[in-house]
Amino acid sequence: MAKAIEVVGLRKSFGRIRALDGLDLTVEEGEVHGFLGPNGAGKSTTIRVLLGLLRPDAGEARLLGGDPWRDAVRLHRRLAYVPGDVTLWRNLSGGEVIDLLGRLRGGLDQRRKQELLRRFELDPTKKGRTYSKGNRQKVALVAALASDAELLILDEPTSGLDPLMESVFRECVREERDRGRTVLLSSHILSEVEALCDRVSIIRKGRTVETGTLTGLRHLTRTSITAELAGPPNGLAQLPGVHDVDIRGDRVTLQVDTDQLDAVLRQISATGVRSLTSTPPTLEELFLRHYEDDLAASGATA
Amino acid sequence: MMRTFTGTFTGTPSLVRLALRRDRIMIPAWVLSLAVIVIGTASSISTLYPTEAGRASLAASMAANGSLRALYGPVYGTSIGGLTAWRMGSMGPALAGLMTLLLVVRHTREEEEAGRLELVGAGVVGRRAPLTASLITGCGASLLLALLITLGLLTQGAVGAVAFGLAFGAVGCVFAAVAAVTAQLTESARAAKGIAGALLGVAFLVRATGDAAAPGGPEWVAWLSPLGWAERLHPYAHERWWVLALFAGVIVLLVTAAYALVAGRDLDAGLLPSRPGPERAGRRLRGAYGLAWRLQRGSLWGWAFGYAVSGLVFGATGKGIADLGRTNKSIADEINHLGGTHSLVDSFLAAMINFLGMLAAVYIVQAVLRLRGEESDGRAEPVLATAVGRLRWAASHLVIAAAGSVVLMVAGGIAMGIGYGASVSDVSGQVPRMTGAGLVQLPAVLFVGALAVLILGAAPKMAMASWSAASLTLAIGLYGPLLKLSRWVLDLSAFTHLPKVPTAPATATPLLWLLVLTAALTASGLAALRHRDMG
């Protein structure tokens, strides 16, 4: 499969601040790729490099087979972008901005635009300065989704949307994927990435720390298990991959590395099970684990 | 009850401190430059007219000329202080009014529109506090100006100095109060400034109409304008202190109205309804140029209107200058000094078209800096993420800035030709002549614009420094010859190098040099823009 985005060892500093420190990112054509990281991790900087707005200090970036800096205009005909912080021209109406951005890119599907306006419940006659943050974001989203671009670059596109609109957004992204479009979705909202993305890249401090399919990443996560057993649980704590064991009489709660789940379940069922609940691993935990040392550090200073 | 009333002012001192902190450059810059202009005028008058007889003859000629009375106002006193009060007594307070109206809208409606007032209002801040703080800031700035002018003119007589200072302070406070009201009317800060500014313009025109009236004519019209009151305070000529009561009355009235309006409306709402925009973009809103035109056209039309009106006024004043030259030798010398030696009227027209050229430098810097505003406010990003390249994006605004300057100079030239031509029955001859004189200014205008492009490309964080280029040009052109600055200082301004058309023939060499430099600066600015980071 061809690569829509290929970034290797990207570095970028602003004065003494190092925003990107050897970042890698690969997005396959036709996939929805989650680009996950806390605020200030370097997501927007990476996207600006991909848009040819910033020139990297070192490293390689390829976008749709071209050089994002040199071939910017040619490549931009094939992509649509929603910035994280949408600012609009104060005296232009939302409808005007949507049409304008479409025309600047080289075309806009008017029927699709109308449909998106309806679905996002956006009034296109309001002036730019009167829109709320969420509505400004909707203007940019409608402009991007109504284009026929093959690549969508969305930088935290739902940060101002209410839950209802967020679900409309999810629907729309799924439709885009079904049409074969590639989506790079930057976010720090885990549930969103979990619901939409085929693969994710997790970055922190300008560096990629994890990348892969969600299923692949789950092997790095832990499942929580709470069980009531027929007798006292024996030897559970000694099994490899078991953490945080808490035994109260016949009740046990523990965490287990997902790839060691099988051995733990055998041991439990050997004792006899009265009841069992297991919580599947979430991206949340995966995410948190990568910031564990951050949390530990902040805990230590506090 | 009393407690709830005073409670609505809670937080005012902190807001004043915030405003002063934000305007720590803007307020001193305004106040100092206005004070320097006024004090500089006094010193240049004392140099040019050291004798009482010379001043009396100047005053007599000025008072006899309707078009000059319209421009500067009537002469009440013939001392150095009296002539300073005549020369700056209308324009000066008008500029003080401009300063305060910008300040007040900046700290009220602009904060509200930007959403920052919401953040502040959620704190322990009373409903009336933001308006009160902005009025204190605006009136404080104009009273500081009043104090500096009084101190600067003390040597010309203390009583007159106090009265003249108060003329600035009082007009400043009136337009602070005007802006306090207009800021409640519209949802947009730009519109609030526009309405207040238009009222200032009307006040100036009303005063000019009254002052231009021949003896026995409708001189009372000037009493309808606060700028007319400022003159009629008679600084340095038997001061009439009761005129201050007029100012006080209007200020109280306007401030009360502003508080009533602020109490009766919601956050973000204006009294004038905001109209919805079109549902879809019109045919002309396409491409980088369509967008740039849409963003710049309003300001260009405003400027062009101003150029047409001032061109007409300057042109119509020309005939009066000719009459004046026949009666007063020293004025003839002064104007010849500014323009050349050919003919008095032509010198005057050359000086005025040169002045319009220097103002066009302010326009072009403002139009070029739109690019920086678009970039730093994040509006350039979505445009540059489409099939619009950086150069095309920049060119779209630069072409409008350059073409806009041409429009301004042509409009000013034609209007001046009509104004002067009508008074000497030679419209068909004067219009092309003055239009040509306007076009001669363009290389210098474009040169200042190109400086702004270079800074924008090479050092975007310092883009605001382009304003210094424009204001330096304006300051050298306006006060350089008057203050008899040395040659090399005058040479810093591109306008010094222009031929003095229509007095002198247009020589191509300096114009070509300026155009070559303009092209070189623009090209290096764009090259730098192409290779730097955006945002």
Range in A160-174, B280-294, B471-485 with the lowest mean pLDDT: B471-485
Task: Give pLDDT, residue B505.
Answer: 79
Range in A84-98, B8-22, B204-218, B387-401 with the lowest mean pLDDT: B204-218
Range in A129-143, A151-165, B107-121 with the lowest mean pLDDT: B107-121
Rounded to a whole number, what is the distance in Å from the CA of B103 to chain A's nearest CA? Answer: 21
What is the mean pLDDT of the segment spanning B437-462?
A: 94
Task: Give pLDDT, residue B48.
Answer: 83
Query: Would you place residue B335 in the very low, low, confident or very high pLDDT band (cuts 50, 70, 90)?
Result: low
Nearest-CA neighbor of A261 among A280, A288, A234, A287? A280
Task: Give pLDDT, residue A294.
Answer: 59
Mutation target to probe the B interface, by most B beta carbons within 10 A, among A45, A51, A77, A103 is: A103
3 state DSSP class of B217: coil
> Regarding predicted confidence, which is higher, A237 or B427?
B427
B382 touches chain A (CB under 8 A): yes
What is the mean pLDDT of the segment spanning B123-152?
A: 93
pTM of the shown model = 0.80
pLDDT tens profile B177-203: 999 999 999 888 888 998 898 899 889
Asked whether the beta carbons of B209 and B221 are under 8 A apart, the reply is: yes
Asked whether the beta carbons of A240 and A53 are under 8 A apart, the reply is: no
B461 touches chain A (CB under 8 A): no
Yes or no, beta carbons of A54 and B535 under 8 Å apart: yes
Q: How far apart are alpha carbons B447 and B519 in whole angstroms?
A: 8
Query: Would you place residue B171 in the very low, low, confident or very high pLDDT band (cuts 50, 70, 90)?
Result: very high
Rounded to a whole number, what is the distance in Å from the CA of B187 to chain A's nearest CA? Answer: 9
Q: Are strands A182-187 and A273-279 parallel, antiparallel or unpaired?
A: unpaired
Nearest-CA neighbor of B102 among B180, B5, B16, B18? B180
DSSP conformational letter for B123: S
B387 touches chain A (CB under 8 A): yes
B413: part of which helix (H) or strand (E)?
helix B390-423
Rounded to a whole number, what is the distance in Å from the CA of B268 to chain A's nearest CA? Answer: 9
Q: What percent of chain A has pLDDT above 90? A: 53
Task: Give pLDDT, residue B327.
Answer: 63
Asked whether the beta carbons of A256 and A229 are under 8 A apart, the reply is: no
Question: Which residues face B267 on adjacent strands?
Answer: none
Q: How far apart are alpha carbons B42 and A89 in whole angstroms?
A: 46
What is the mean pLDDT of the segment spanning B460-487?
A: 77
What is the mean pLDDT of the segment spanning B359-371?
A: 92
Asked whether the beta carbons of A56 and A107 are under 8 A apart, the reply is: no
Rounded to a whole number, what is the distance in Å from the CA of A201 to chain B's nearest CA? Answer: 23
3 state DSSP class of B215: coil
Yes or no, beta carbons of B533 and A86 under 8 Å apart: no
Of the ranges A192-196, A206-210, B413-417, the best mean pLDDT one: B413-417
Query: Would you place residue A293 in the very low, low, confident or very high pLDDT band (cuts 50, 70, 90)?
Result: low
Question: Which residues face A153 on adjacent strands?
Answer: A81, A184
Yes or no, beta carbons of A103 and B188 under 8 Å apart: no
Mutation target to probe the B interface, by most B beta carbons within 10 A, among A69, A73, A142 is: A73
DSSP conformational letter for B187: S
> What single letter denotes the amino acid at residue B486?
S
Neighboring chain B residues of A160 at a CB cutoff of 8 Å: none
Yes or no, beta carbons of B389 and A87 under 8 Å apart: no
What's the mean pLDDT when you consider all of chain B?
88
Task: Give pLDDT, residue B159.
Answer: 94
pLDDT tens profile B497-531: 888 877 777 788 899 999 999 999 999 999 999 99
What's the mean pLDDT when you consider all of chain A?
87
What is the mean pLDDT of the segment spanning B432-448?
A: 95
- pLDDT of B6 above 80: no
pLDDT tens profile A16-29: 999 999 999 999 99
- pLDDT of A262 above 90: no
Yes or no, beta carbons of A96 and B285 under 8 Å apart: yes
- pLDDT of B330 above 70: no
Range in B96-100, B231-235, B268-272, B480-484 with the lowest mean pLDDT: B480-484
B269 touches chain A (CB under 8 A): no
Q: How far apart are alpha carbons B347 and B349 in whole angstroms?
A: 5
**Which among B278, B294, B533 has CB closest to A95?**
B278
Q: How far apart are alpha carbons A172 and A195 in whole angstroms?
A: 13
Cα torsion B521, B522, B528, B531 to 10°: value is -150
Size of interface A-B (CB pairs under 8 A): 120
Asked whether the beta carbons of A80 and A149 are under 8 A apart, the reply is: yes
Task: Give pLDDT, residue B208.
Answer: 84
Q: What percent of chain B has pLDDT above 90? A: 51
B533 touches chain A (CB under 8 A): yes
B395 touches chain A (CB under 8 A): no
Task: Give pLDDT, residue B255.
Answer: 96
- pLDDT of A300 above 60: no
B113 touches chain A (CB under 8 A): yes
Range in B198-202, B213-217, B255-259, B378-382 with the lowest mean pLDDT: B213-217
- pLDDT of B342 above 60: no
Please enumerate in sequence order all residues whose Cβ is within 8 A of that of A3, keeping only pairs 6 or more positions apart, or say none.
A26, A27, A28, A29, A62
Neighboring chain B residues of A81 at a CB cutoff of 8 Å: 381-382, 385
- pLDDT of A301 above 60: no
Please enumerate in sequence order all residues whose Cβ is within 8 A of that of A221, keeping only pairs 6 or more positions apart, or say none.
A257, A258, A281, A282, A285, A286, A289
Neighboring chain B residues of A55 at a CB cutoff of 8 Å: 531-533
- pLDDT of A199 above 90: yes
Q: Are strands A3-14 and A58-63 parallel, antiparallel or unpaired?
A: antiparallel
What is the mean pLDDT of the segment spanning B409-422?
A: 94
Task: Give pLDDT, residue A93.
Answer: 94
What is the mean pLDDT of the segment spanning A88-93?
A: 89
- pLDDT of A238 above 50: yes
Neighboring chain B residues of A52 at a CB cutoff of 8 Å: 384
Rounded to a whole number, what is the distance in Å from the CA of A302 to chain B's nearest CA? Answer: 27
Nearest-CA neighbor of B72 among B220, B198, B168, B208? B208
What does chain A look like in DSSP terms, one character per residue?
Answer: --EEEEEEEEEEEETTEEEEEEEEEEEETT-EEEEE--TTSSHHHHHHHHTTSS--SEEEEEETTB-TTTTHHHHHTTEEEE-SS----TTSBHHHHHHHHHHHHT---HHHHHHHHHHTT--TTSBGGG--HHHHHHHHHHHHHTS--SEEEEESTTTT--HHHHHHHHHHHHHHHHTT-EEEEEES-HHHHHHH-SEEEEEETTEEEEEEEHHHHHTTSEEEEEEEESS---STTTSTTEEEEEEETTEEEEEEEGGGHHHHHHHHHHH-EEEEEEEPP-HHHHHHHHTHHHHHHHHHH-
| Token reading at B507 | 């020589």
Neighboring chain B residues of A101 at a CB cutoff of 8 Å: 382-383, 386
Among left, alpha and beta (phi > 0; psi -120 to 50; other), residue B236 is: left
B288 touches chain A (CB under 8 A): yes
What are the CA-CA distances from residue A223 to residues A38, A244, A266, A279, A280 (Å)? 24, 12, 15, 6, 5
Task: Give pLDDT, residue B180.
Answer: 96
Chain A residue closest to B392 (CA)?
A: A73
Q: How far apart are alpha carbons B89 and B228 in whole angstroms?
A: 9
Q: Are strands A251-257 and A242-248 parallel, antiparallel or unpaired?
A: antiparallel
What is the mean pLDDT of the segment spanning A132-159?
A: 93
What is the mean pLDDT of the segment spanning A237-249?
A: 84
Yes or no, beta carbons of A96 and B378 under 8 Å apart: no
Mutation target to probe the A interface, by most A beta carbons within 10 A, among B280, B388, B461 is: B280
- pLDDT of B150 above 90: yes
